[in-house]
Amino acid sequence: MAVKDIGQQAFGLEVLQRSHEVPVVVDFWASWCGPCKVLGPVLEKVAAEHEGALELVKIDVDGNPALASQFGVQSIPTVLAFKDGRPVARFTGALPEDAVRRWAAALLPTEIDRLVEQARDAVLEGDQLRAEATFRRILDDDPGHADAGTGLAALLIARGDTAEALILLGRLARSAEVEHLEAAARLAAARGGDLHALEARLTADPGDHQARLELGRALAARNEYEPALDHLLAVVKAGGTTRDAARQAMVDVFGVLGVSHPLTLAYRRALASALH
């Protein structure tokens, strides 16, 4: 296996981008460093043993001080491993070969990691049944597995099984992805609302806050976010027993749209004003 000596210009491509495909091990070294000369051949041997499952690159700290500083390299040799564009493991000094081998082995995908990738591939190929079966197989062994849990929840939400999706998400560790999917599930639960019937109720009684709340939810479930937010905000402003439900529905819309979306920015301010 060829080991690449790279610098600042190639770092983005050879390390950050490439690490989305396989783990990339980066050896920060210098020609005058004795321990570097000991560790270098060990790293090359271990990398070769994995036959392309991980890659090794070398960075001369004398020629690339900015890179060394960026990743906190204060002594050499320092070895960093990158996965998905970010550093995930490191060590400093010339470790024994067995220790390097164990460190490198921990970077490689586990059987569960491979199953997650198979399930994601199935989703991309449109094979929802195979994807669901694979995600469920993973969760049978590891009920709290975040990637399998969110992957399955997304499938359930897409086909309308929002109750099961919310139960599943409730078992996972809190994260931005989990909260986003919970918001999407709560909104999707209103997808079956009859818009015409709800609009007729409002025409007959503009003060029917329950109908306005249900209409706002139903519009949001159909991705008609601005009119949905208008109705929900009106319910919040009106107060009463439906106020908190309308507030939560607005927060769910914000969760689906994202914090920087123009509608989120505008209606979050309006909501804050209405609540004071």
- Which of 15, 24, 25, 33 is catalytic? The answer is 33
Q: What is the per-residue pLDDT across 118-138, written as a single tens digit (0 to 9) for each?
A: 999 999 999 999 999 999 999
Check if 14 is active-site: no
Helix (H) or strand (E) holding 59: strand 55-60
Q: What type of residue is 272?
A: A
Pairing of strands 24-29, 86-92: unpaired
The rounded mean pLDDT for the chain is 93
Q: What is the per-residue pLDDT across 12-60, written as a single tens digit (0 to 9) for each?
A: 999 999 999 999 999 999 999 999 999 999 999 999 998 888 999 999 9
Listed in sequence order, the DSSP H helices in the chain are 8-11, 34-49, 65-70, 97-105, 111-124, 128-141, 146-158, 162-170, 176-188, 195-204, 209-221, 225-238, 243-257, 262-275
Check if 86 is active-site: no
Q: Which two tokens stand for residue 169?
A: 């998400």
pLDDT at position 122 is 94
- Which of 36, 68, 235, 245 is catalytic? The answer is 36
Q: What is the per-residue pLDDT across 103-122, written as a single tens digit (0 to 9) for each?
A: 999 998 888 988 999 999 99
pLDDT at position 192 is 73
Domains annotated for the chain, with CATH where assigned, are 4-105 (3.40.30.10), 111-188 (1.25.40.10), 195-275 (1.25.40)
Check residue 190 and report its DSSP letter: T
3-state DSSP call for residue 266? Answer: helix
